[in-house]
Structures are given as structure tokens and as C-alpha cells.
Amino acid sequence: MTKPPIPLTQLRDGDRAKVTARDMCCEDCEYLNAMGLTDRCELRVCRVGEPCIVQIANTRLGLASSIAERILVSRVDDSEPR
Amino acid sequence: MTSDHSVNVAGRGGALAPATALRRFALLGNPNTGKTTLFNRLCGMRSRTGNFPGSTVEARFGHYTRQDDRFELVDLPGLYGLNLERPESAICREYLSGHLGGTPAPEALLVIADATNLERNLIFVNQALQQGLPAVVVLTMTDTAERRGVSTDIPKLASRLGCPVVGVCARTGEGVESLVEAMRAPALATGALSDPRDAQRAAEWAGQVHEEVAQIEGDPGPDRLTDRLDRAFTHPILGLAAFVAIMTGLFYAIFALASLPMDLIELLFERLGDLISQVVPEGAVRDLMVDGVVGGIAGTLVFLPQICLLFFLITLLEDTGYLARAAFVIDRLLRRAGLPGQSFIPFLSAHACAIPAIMSARLIPDHRDRLATILVTPFLSCSARLPVYVLLIGVLFGDRPLMAGLAFTGCYVLGALAALVTALIVRRTILRGASRPMVLEFPPYRTPSLRTALLTTWDRASLFVRKAGTVIVGISIVLWWAGEYPRVEMPVALVEQRAAAEARLATEPEAAAEAIVDVERAEAKVRKRESIIGRVGRAVEPVFGPIGADWQLGVGVLSSLLAREVFVTSLNVVIAGDADDDDPERVRARILGATRDDGSPLLTTSSAWSLLVYFVLAMQCLPTLAVTRRETGSWKWAILQFGWMTGVAYVAAVIVRQVLLAAGVT
């Protein structure tokens, strides 16, 4: 069951989540898309803080917290299939 | 597509059957896919780095030759997308479409995809295959994928994409023969691809294809070891401690290991100068060759060991995956000065030489961030400043090694502080705005490749010698000429002194020889005084007065615009008329005993301190200015850099001297 969207920075280490929206300019969105962080992609939080480290499939990204707080996600329960 | 070969197009559903072999391939792919490792495997040392016309975007150009196969390869920068609004993406689009004037377009593509991260890479493969060029898709890191239990049905992928696909391990060379065979017949992709402009659909397409062709044994679960290492290396305290320890080790290795080869290079060119002096008759031509050309080349090449070691170690560190994490650690500090974390690579390199440091600022994606980094990089104490520091700190604390050590450290800290404060000012005025927040891919941790590090070092060193060497040799010849000409008649007293000494050669050869050496030193001093630089030094003496320098020290400062270490040699000549005797103790003793025209000591405590501060902060390197101009595309930034640094250095030196004089320290 997915929960209401929250900023990525409010998750904890180990949480899984699905990207629902990104509050940033088109250029930044396109760059994140190209790196694999697309809308509706599923990610795992490796580290919250500065930087925020997330894993999408086999891609690991370090995000400045000012970027991470503008990515809205819905937490995914661990019981849900990947 | 431009080509000087005829090509038969079989049409959709068929591969090309070339009448003649295609030759020019561009290597395209995401960063960290092993593209450069593959390029190195194919080309080895038969490559060079160059810029695309009118830009600072670099590419590597090489060729593969074996029996009947001859391919030209262009290793383009790693890209996350061809459609992004970034300079490197724009340049690559123009290059691929043949719209980059002066650079022939590729005839085919090698599209590189990381087999361990295929789904993400397929997004880029989709874009690349729609550029209208025949292609071969290359899956790299197949060995790593196999270890992780990831396998790819390559024939199925080739059928899905409609073009050849080859799996290789660039590190070991496995699969390269098959790749070369495929390169004889690349094909226009005829598979069902996705519209690259729709990111969502393209990501779904990549997911679909990945599901069809990839098999993963079991569920390895999250990589806990990498998680723990990442948390440690990016921790605000632990990460910073690791960073300081690693950088200290790196610096120690560079300075410790480079000193012997640097001494050997100096000795080699000294011998070369002696050889030329024996072969070429005395005169202007010999002086030009020995002091101008050989001296200029030696002045460049002496830094090569440090530059080679620096790039070798940085490449190794980068290959381990650590540097991306370190960029975030140092980003916390640099961001307060308006700089991004990526600036730390140029700042690191600047401690060897500012020239390759400024060139490495190209990796910074944001234009204003890059400019700010370039402008402040020369503040960091480079190797060329060391002889000046040694001389002046030796004058101040010759017998107190602890104080001398602290003074040395203080010089490095002062330079770094000046860089950060200047960056802060620049980002609040002419390059207004906050530094762009970082988003970096963290590559997996792995054992670095020695081969890659050696080839990168060779490439970077060649680039430095080619670019900087030509500039430095040119400037050194000009400054040598300005320090030697115009030639004037020697004063009558010196002429008589020489005649008297030569007359005693037959009867008192040893005493006469010593007297002749003294005369030659005096003549060299006269020549320096009456040269263009000497006259300028005397003319601007009032300007250097407030920092405690007379015309002799002023000549040293002006001469060291070529290269900072020339200050010591120049002072040697002006004071003692001897450029060859560079024994540090004798030079120091000579300078301590030297006097000004009015008989007062040449260097006092206050003037030594103010000169030291001046050299820490001043832009005393014309070749660096030339590189700034090239990297920024405008003389405006180079002039601003020179003016600001010289102004800051002068004001700081004046303040230091005046404070010391007010405190009774003369």
C-alpha cells in the first residue's frame, strides 16, 4: 500500500519508495531522468542527509539535500513485491 | 552522415554489407561504463586528447590497426543523454550530425552499455541508435556481471535492437576479437525503438527490453558493504578524516617520489646546456639556445614527474569509486565559498601546477562554477613557488626548522584562504548565484586498473608538454631576450680589470682565473642592470618600494612572471652575476650579504616577509594566464585574474610590511 507523497529527505535509511513528482526545472528533471531517477521509478534509500544516497536498480546516486527535498515520493512497504 | 566510402544499405530488417570497410567510429556511452578502458584496449598509446573546435569539450582520438583492419576511434565524453542542455551533449550532437566545422563526422558508432546496469544504459542506447548511423552495441564489464549472477541473452538483444551486439571485458581483452569482427559490419538499428523525447516511455521500453534479455540468478539483496562504505566516506566527521588522510598520503607520495626524477631532469638539461656551450661558438646564438630554449624547456619539464604522479594517483583513486564520494565531503566546505565539490580535483592538481589544474576544471558542469574555479585556482601554492618559499623562509628562519615548517604551512593556508575568499566575492558579484547543487552517480567500488591509470597519465602528460611547453618556451625566449638586451659597452674600469686579469694568466694562472670569474660576474650584473628588464626594474622601483623591494628585487619579481622559480636565478644574477651557482646555502649567504645601491641590506626581515606574502598571492605565471584565456575563451577573465591577484598580493604585502615596521621590525 503506498502512502501520501513526502519529500525524499523524510525517509529513513533502508526505506523503499516510488517517485511521484519532482519540484524542479525541466533541465534538472531531464538530467535526473537520464540518470535513471524518472517519475514512478522505485528507489531504495541508502543514506539520508547530505548527500542523500539512493539506489535505483543498479544505479547509485548521490543527491545534494536541496535536490532530494524537492523529490516527492510515496513510501513502499517492504511486504510489496519489487 | 559524411563518408568517403560507398555503402550499400540493405534496408530495414537487414545488416549493411559494405562494399568497403567503414573506418571512423565514435564511442558513445554513459559515464562509468568502461568506455575509456575499451578505447585504451583498442588504441593503447596510439591516441591523443584534443578539443572540439571552439569549445573546451575534450575527446580522445586514436586508431586501431591490425592486419587488414584500420579503424579511427573517437572517444566522446561520457554522457547521460544526447538531448540534455549541457555543453558536452550539444557538442556531441553537432559532431554526430556532421555540423561541427573542421571535424569529420563519424561513420559508425560503438554504443557502450554496462552489462551490470543494463536497464539504465538501454535508455542511452535507445537515443544513440536513433542518430542515423550504423552501430555496434558493446556490453562491457561482462566479468563483473557474471560474478553478480547477471547474464544477458546477447543474440536476443541483437535481434531486439536490430544491430550487432558484442559482450567484452575491456580489462582482460576478452571479446575484443569478436568486437573487431563486428566493427567490420556495423548496422543501422532496425529494431523497435522508443521515442527518446518521451522519458517515461523510453524508461518503460528499457525496462521491457531488460526483462526480455536479462537473467539474474537469485536476489542478491541490497549491497550492505557498499552502503556501509558510503555512509563512512560521506560522514561529516569520519568522511572528512578519511579525506584528509587520503589527500595527505597522496601529497606525500607526490613530493617524496617526484624529487629524484626532478633532480635528474635538471641535471640532464644542465649537461645539455654544457654540451651546447662546448659545440656552439660563444655569442648571441649560444646564449639563446642555452639560456632561452634549453632553460625554457627545462623549466617546463622539471614539473613533469609531479604532474605524472598526480594524474596517476588521481586516476587510480577515481577508478576505485572513491572520488565521487569525496566530492560530497569537500562540497560542504566549498559550497560556503560558492564553489561546487567537483572543484577539489582542480584544487588538488594546482599544488603541482596550475596549468593542468585549470584544464581539469572542464569536468565541472555549470559554467559559472567552472569560471569561478578557474579564476581562483592559481592562488593555491604550486611547486614553482617552493624555491621562492625556501629562499625567503630560509632568510627569515634559517636556523629554526620548526618556525620554518610553520611558515611553510602558513603559505599554503594563506593561498587556500585567498582562493576561498575570492570565490565568495566572485559569486556575489560578477558570477552571482549559488553553486549548482550536486547530483553525482556513485560508481561501484572496485580495484583500480593500472593500465588505465598509466595510459591516462601518458595522455595528460603529453597534453601538458604540448600545450604548456610551447607557450612556456615562447615566453622564456622573450623574457631571456629582455633580460640580456640591449647589450651595452662595459664601463672602462671593468674593461681595464679584465685586461689586467688576462695579462696575469701566463704568470699567475689560478689567481688570474679567479679574477676573470669576478670580472665576468660584474659584467653579467651590468648587462642585467642595463637590459630591458633591468631598466624597467629601475623605472618601477618606486612601485616596489612600499613592499620593501629595490630595483634588484624588482627585476627578480618581473623576471619571475615567466615562472616563479626564476626569481631565485634572477636574484643570483643581479646580485652575484652568476646564474649557474644555485647551491642553496651559497645563494642564501650571498643574498644575506647583498646590499642596495645606498649600501643598506638588500633583504631585511620586513621586506622578506612582505615578498613572501607577495609571492604566495601574486599571479606570477604568464603561461597560466595563457591557459586561463584558452579555457575561458576570453582575455577578459585572464586579465581580471592577473589584475585581481596582483592587486591582492601587493596590498597584502604593503600591509604586512607596514605592520612590521610599525611594530619596530625592520
Looking at residue A81, its pLDDT comes to: 55
- Whether residue B285 is found in the same domain as residue B175: no
- Whether residue B374 is found in the same domain as residue B255: yes
Looking at residue B5, its pLDDT comes to: 28
pTM value?
Answer: 0.80
Work out the pLDDT band at B216, boundaries 50, 70, 90.
Answer: confident
Tens of pLDDT, residue by residue over B145-163, are 888 888 999 999 999 999 9
Q: Rounded distance, CA B483 to CA B388, Å?
A: 19
Looking at residue B657, its pLDDT comes to: 94
pLDDT at residue B469 is higher than 80: no
- Whether residue B243 is found in the same domain as residue B212: no
Domain boundary residue, one of B450, B485, B501 = B450
Looking at residue B496, its pLDDT comes to: 92
Q: Are B231 and B179 in contact (CB under 8 A)?
A: no
Q: Are B509 and B332 in contact (CB under 8 A)?
A: no
Looking at residue B109, its pLDDT comes to: 95
Instruction: Say how many CB pairs under 8 Å bridge A and B.
Output: 105
Specify which residues B140 forms β-bridges with. B114
What residues contact residue B365 under an 8 Å CB cut-off, 6+ apart? Answer: B86, B342, B436
Which of B203, B222, B437 comes nearest A64 by C-beta? B437
Looking at residue B390, its pLDDT comes to: 82
Work out the pLDDT band at B471, boundaries 50, 70, 90.
Answer: low
Tens of pLDDT, residue by residue over A13-54, are 999 999 998 998 888 888 998 898 988 899 999 999 999 999
Looking at residue B536, its pLDDT comes to: 87
User: What residues of A are in the B interface, CB distance below 8 Å?
Assistant: 13-14, 27, 30-36, 38-41, 44, 46-47, 49-51, 53, 55-64, 66-67
- Whether residue B283 is found in the same domain as residue B202: no
In a domain, B135, yes or no: yes
Distance from CA of B236 to the nearest CA of A (A): 8
- Whether residue B270 is found in the same domain as residue B198: no
In a domain, B607, yes or no: no
pLDDT at residue B449 is higher than 90: no
Looking at residue B9, its pLDDT comes to: 24
Total Cβ atoms within 10 A of residue B633: 12
Q: Rounded distance, CA B616 to CA B649, Å?
A: 8
Work out the pLDDT band at B397, boundaries 50, 70, 90.
Answer: confident
Work out the pLDDT band at B16, boundaries 50, 70, 90.
Answer: very low
- Whether residue B175 is found in the same domain as residue B280: no
- Share of residues in chain B with pLDDT > 70 (%): 91
Which of B124, B222, B438 comes nearest A64 by C-beta? B438
Domain boundary residue, one of B216, B246, B281 = B216
Work out the pLDDT band at B3, boundaries 50, 70, 90.
Answer: very low
- Whether residue B205 is found in the same domain as residue B270: no
- Whether residue B170 is found in the same domain as residue B273: no
- Inter-chain touch A47–B230, beta carbons under 8 Å: yes
C-alpha cell recorded at residue B399: 636556523
pLDDT at residue B283 is higher than 90: no
Count up the domains in chain B and report the number: 2
- Share of residues in chain B with pLDDT > 90 (%): 36
Q: Provide mean pLDDT across the span B318-346.
A: 90
Q: Rounded distance, CA B429 to CA B432, Å?
A: 5
Looking at residue B653, its pLDDT comes to: 95
In a domain, B377, yes or no: yes
Q: Give the start-to-end residue ranges of the domains of chain A.
A: 6-76
- Inter-chain touch A63–B227, beta carbons under 8 Å: no
Average pLDDT, chain B: 85
Q: Provide mean pLDDT across the span B309-321.
A: 89
Looking at residue B572, its pLDDT comes to: 65
Work out the pLDDT band at B90, boundaries 50, 70, 90.
Answer: confident
Q: Provide mean pLDDT across the span B296-309.
A: 80
- Whether residue B198 is found in the same domain as residue B246: no
Q: Is A66 exposed, middle or buried (0-12, 13-18, 19+ CB in 10 A)?
A: middle
In a domain, B618, yes or no: no
Interhelix angle B532-539/B551-559, rounded to 10 degrees, is 120
Work out the pLDDT band at B394, boundaries 50, 70, 90.
Answer: confident
Looking at residue B654, its pLDDT comes to: 95
pLDDT at residue B645 is higher than 90: yes
- Whether residue B395 is found in the same domain as residue B315: yes
- Inter-chain touch A61–B231, beta carbons under 8 Å: no
Q: Please list every residue in chain B whose beta carbon sits closer than 8 Å to the beta carbon of residue A56.
A: 120
**Residue among A35, A42, A45 with most chain B CBs within 10 A, to mutate:** A35
pLDDT at residue B237 is higher than 90: yes
Q: Provide mean pLDDT across the span B267-272.
A: 90
Q: Are A82 and A26 in contact (CB under 8 A)?
A: no
Q: Rounded distance, CA B586 to CA B511, Å?
A: 21
Q: Are B607 and B657 in contact (CB under 8 A)?
A: yes
Nearest CA in chain B to A35: B80
Q: Please list every residue in chain A whose beta carbon sits closer than 8 Å to the beta carbon of residue B81.
A: 30-31, 33-34
- CATH code of the domain occupying A6-76: 2.30.30.90
**Does B486 sit behind a cis peptide bond, omega within 30 degrees of 0 on the bond before it?**
yes
* Whole-complex ipTM: 0.93
DSSP string, B570-613: HHHHHHHS-SS---HHHHHHHHHH-B-TTSSBSS-HHHHHHHHH
- Whether residue B336 is found in the same domain as residue B441: yes
CATH number at residue B62: 3.40.50.300
**Residue among B211, B439, B441, B445 with most chain A CBs within 10 A, to mutate:** B439
As a whole number of angstroms, the longest Cα–Cα distance in chain B is: 100
Looking at residue B224, its pLDDT comes to: 85
When mean pLDDT is compared across B65-79, B397-411, B467-481, B622-636, the lowest value belongs to B467-481
- Whether residue B77 is found in the same domain as residue B159: yes
pLDDT at residue B589 is higher than 50: yes
Q: Are B129 and B163 in contact (CB under 8 A)?
A: yes
Tens of pLDDT, residue by residue over B153-207, are 999 999 999 999 999 998 888 999 999 999 999 999 888 788 877 888 888 899 9
Whole domain around residue B368: which residue ranges? 238-450
In which region does residue B102 sit, left (phi positive, over 0), alpha (psi from -120 to 50) or beta (all else)? left
In a domain, B489, yes or no: no
Nearest CA to B111 out of B96, B125, B91, B127 is that of: B125
- Inter-chain touch A38–B200, beta carbons under 8 Å: yes
Task: Report the length, in residues, of chain B.
Answer: 666
Tens of pLDDT, residue by residue over B18-72, are 444 668 999 999 998 989 889 989 998 777 777 777 666 778 889 898 888 889 9
**H helices within B399-504, ranges in order?**
401-428, 450-484, 492-503
Distance from CA of B425 to the nearest CA of A (A): 23
C-alpha cell recorded at residue B277: 656551450
